[in-house]
Structure 1
Amino acid sequence: MRHRDPAVTADSMRALAAPRRLAAVLVVLALFLGLLALTFTLVRDRAVRDLGQRLEVTARTRVQALESVLAKQRAVAVVLSDDSLMREALADPAAGTAARASHKLERLSEATDSAVIYLLDRDGLAIAASNWNEEASFVGSNYGFRDYFSQALLRGEATQFALGTVSKRPGLYLSHDVAVAGRPRGVIVVKVEFDRTEANWSQAGERIFVTDAAGQVILSSTPALRFGPLPASGPGEVAAALPVPGADWRLVIRAPAAEATAAAVLATGTVGFLLSLALGGGVWAARARTRAARRAEAERRYRADLERAVDERTRDLTAEMRERRAAEQRLAQLQGEMVQANKLATLGQITAGVAHEVNTPLATIRLLAENGRQMLPEGAAPDVAGNLDQILRMSDRIAQITTELRGFARKATGELGPVALKEALDAALLLVASRRRAEGIRMVLPQIPPGLTVRAERVRLEQILVNLIQNAQEALSGRPDAELRIELHEQPDRVRLTIRDNGPGLAPGIAATLFTPFATSKPRGLGLGLVISREIARDFGGELTAAPSEPGQGASFHLDLPRLP
């Protein structure tokens, strides 16, 4: 029997085992590298998706903020387009109405956070502006070449994002025509600037752009890119885009994916390190498992924090959408009440015409009653004479009512002069007497000297008094002990009328916004009655204020007027 050499046999075994070991090493190395590549891909894709979700939530928040600003400023333009002072300024700017319109626009610009509000006549000339007292005032400049002017005259309203010719500052121009007797006589323009919005965007860490219908950048977190094309996305950037409702705009937000890549690299390195520890020994494997568990917990907390942040953003977005819907409902209600106000104005004109037409037959009735009274024979039945006397008294009463109705419906002249305070108050009380009698309200009136006159205009003074008395009567509706008290306080140069009721009084939240446009506690109120009344009082050189009120103590309003000798 032949015996094999042991050395030769061992060498042969080692020679055969070497390729198998090499193949095993290569397989392990391939699995190791494949696992690392898979880890990198999965982690990076997940981080990119999370970043995209965060960008979409942020984009919705930015869009809602822009939409809210546009809705508020459009409402300002719509309300001013139907303002009587704006129409008067267009009809006769040389009569001082243009200056009063500028003062009013200045106050509204501060209250609504508009950059500037201005009124253009039919030729595009600015006759009133909120920046009337600034060096770069728009008053006297012609904007007939602007698209927002020509389009507003043609279609009733327009929007345009452009660079200001005087201020050299970019902004959005919202315009609306001002119609008189159904024909456009001018255009009201509200300019909105977004400097603070862009400044906030620049600090957010993302790149934000707003483009118009042509794809041109009009707003950006990098103002230098404004009025150019939308830049191309950078390598590895993640983006989200949403349209801006109410404008033909699109908001684009971008952020670098470096965070996702860093997370993927970190996860890949972690997996490689763990595998190295696993291959190195049991102790290192145990430590690697502990660290992996910690990292898994941190990832779980990260995901939980991210989901919580998304939930909070979603709740905030839901609240903002709810506020936007409420604002839209408010705007629709405001437009409906404007239509109702126009109907009431038309009804007032019809009432004045009917009152005028009633005078002729009424005078005939009175004349016939007087003739019948004189032609009664002696000894006639006393009931006949009494009936004729009653007809004469009722005729006088009807004549008084129609006279006051025609006087209240008469258009204000805009000229100030001496007005008898007693006559104005009596006329206002007569116009609101029917509701007072229906509610059973007790009226306490002061003794006003017949010769007491104030500097005012009778029609507009009656308008203030009717508004204050009506508000008091509405507050007293349904009270069994309703009482409305009017007090007179005379000074050498001033006269104060105090209208006081014993109703529920003014709530603190309402008292703080009484003279703010569109602020009202009435379900169908417009929120302009007290604002307009205060403006009228100030035009007279007086003031309208509300006395401090405690709940349940009633409300009091003071009307101060200049006294004339």
Structure 2
Amino acid sequence: MEAKKIDSSIQSRRNMKLFIILYFLMLVVIIFSSHYIARCKLEAQTSIIKTSLIQAGSELTLNINRYEFIPFALSLDDNVKQFLIDEYSDSLREKVNTLVASIRHRVGALDIFIVDADGMIVSSSDAMSPNTLVGHNVQFRPYFQNVKEGDTEHFYGIGTTDSIPGYYQAHGIYTKGKKLGVVAVKIDVDTLLTPHSRYGDKVFLFDDNNVIVNSNDTGLLYHSLINLDDTQQKELLKTHRYNNKNILPVDGMVKRKITDQTYDVLYQGKHYIQVNYYLPQLNLTLAQLSPINSLLFNTSLYAAFGFFITTLVFIAILIFRQKQQITSLKLERQKMLEDTNINLDRLVKERSHELEIKNESLAEQIKERINSERKLRSMQNELIRSEKLAVIGQLSAGLAHEINQPLSALSVLSENSVRFLELGQVDDVKSNLKRVTKLVQFIGRLSNQLRSFSRNSDDSTSPVSISASLDNAMVLLAHRFDQGKTTFVRIPPKSEVRCLCNNIRLEQVLVNIINNGLDAMEGISGECFINARWYNEGDQAVIKIEDNGPGIPHAIIGNIFEPFFTTKKSSGLGLGLAISADIINSFNGKLSVEQLEKGTCFTIILPLHSLD
């Protein structure tokens, strides 16, 4: 049974591979078909454009050639020759001006003018106009420089006087081999060039410098199809061909050559096919940009449609095959499900029994852990209480002295008051009673602080004034500063700082740290001090206790917060700092120590209580 299932699975995978290969082969066929169709359409469109350009170019050439007889005929005219020989006599000037003006009017040229041997225009069809060409020198023009006897020179350029572009045809005036001058006719190409273009086509005419001199798109006019080098730019400026215009390449045009006269062009975000047709008689090239975005879109649409149909067929076949496989699998799985259900019932019973045993064991473990945590908490509280009592024991002698002095003063003041009463000195009695009241308040404050310090406190948190906590700690430690040479210096912030913790626990930590500092500075000569600074930093309250004692050796500074680690030889269990660190940690704070250049600094960081 298993072998049959494996063979069936292998055969199914082979069929699927063959089917996928066939699917991709169909996609390749569709892609190549689309490419072939696009190529055929492109060739057809190119052929139509080329036919249109040939027709338009032939018409343009014929139209321009119609004017070629004019400079030829005038170069042979006796009046024109005599006019140049006589150096522009007034009698002939009027005849020549009238002649060229009459011819211009009949043929519809832009201008007809005669140039002498020095390049100066001496007669023109617009001689009667205020802006006449007469008097302008055109010796820099190629049609003047290159003209030969018996030949007609062709040139396209912009007029330097009227800035009107035109096609020039010039013929030399010679007599006995000597050049007397040149006759030139200027023709308006715009009126002669009438190509048949479709919507979106751009038709333009460019010269041998690849500069577009005529176009139905003004954005292309007087731009070059290539980058002109400095030599070409200087030559154009020398001949004033474009009336000193700065010729720049067509902005944003990218071309890819297909054939000698055909290009694939990307211009202004659109795809075009460019077809060129060279006009040899005019030395100009007629070109047309025809958009092919729709052709590309249609080709893509055809490819997408073929892909969609192929994919649809592929999916339909897959669905049919899967339905067959699903039907077969349903029968197999139904059998397997029945077997699985039997095994599952057996496993569920076994697992349920195991879970019951594990649940009972887990409940016992949880109960033991809860008891262990209670014992641990109790032991921790007992250690804290023991440490408190140890601190109180260390301070007891000093505290007894602090209480004995006021008691002695109370005894003396009481005896004096009795004596003053007997003498009737009531004012002195009042003064003594006031002093007694202050001494009693001092003893009460000391005893209250000692009782508060020694009692067990809960772990509840509330806003605690750091300044008040330092004051309460100093009540218990004031006698040590009074007896010794150590000075306690407060460096308070500008405004009160409150932290979130338990005030009794914080006071215990402060007493422990300050008391350790006093112990460390016993027997040290010189001025000793302990500084207390506190401030807020972001959302934290920071307390720094610094001393100028001998400091903690670097070798053991990392161990001072470990339980039962102590540097004191005569007293202490080494629990004070460990318990202090645990207390601060329980309030989401941190207790750290650092070695100063001289002395030690303990830093307490606690959550800040915001007044907002």
TM range (shorter): 0.3 to 0.5
The structure number with the bigger radius of gyration is 2
Tell me the TM-score normalized by structure 1: 0.43
Tell me the TM-score normalized by structure 2: 0.40
